[in-house]
Amino acid sequence: MFLYSNITHFDTLRRGFPSHLGKDIKKIAKDLIKKGLILTKPTPYGLQVFLNKNRLREVEDFIFKVLNFRF
């Protein structure tokens, strides 16, 4: 996922994860959209998403909680 003006297609969020986790990744991403950590931009060719730069600390905390990885 990208910051600031970098936007990616919603369906590409699953890339890099094992295929059997695809539905879980999609569900988690939708939850993060509801929480406002991921912002959306509807386009004619599909939903685009990007990280909410105003809540970057919360995004980093979530990543640490799930992946045990600090930036």
Question: What distances in angstroms separate CA 4 from CA 25, 50, 53, 55, 65, one per listed residue?
Answer: 22, 7, 6, 12, 23
Structural domain includes residue 59: yes
Structural domain includes residue 28: yes
Work out the angle at residue 20's Cα, subtended by the Cα atoms of residues 34 and 45, and round it to the nearest 5 degrees: 50
Structural domain includes residue 2: no
Where is pLDDT greater, at 8 or 68?
A: 8
pLDDT at 55: 94
Number of structural domains found in the chain? 1
**Which of 1, 38, 33, 34 has its CA nearest to residue 17?**
1
- What is the residue range of 15's domain? 8-67
Structural domain includes residue 33: yes
Arithmetic mean of pLDDT, 20-32? 90
Structural domain includes residue 31: yes
pTM higher than the cut 0.85: no
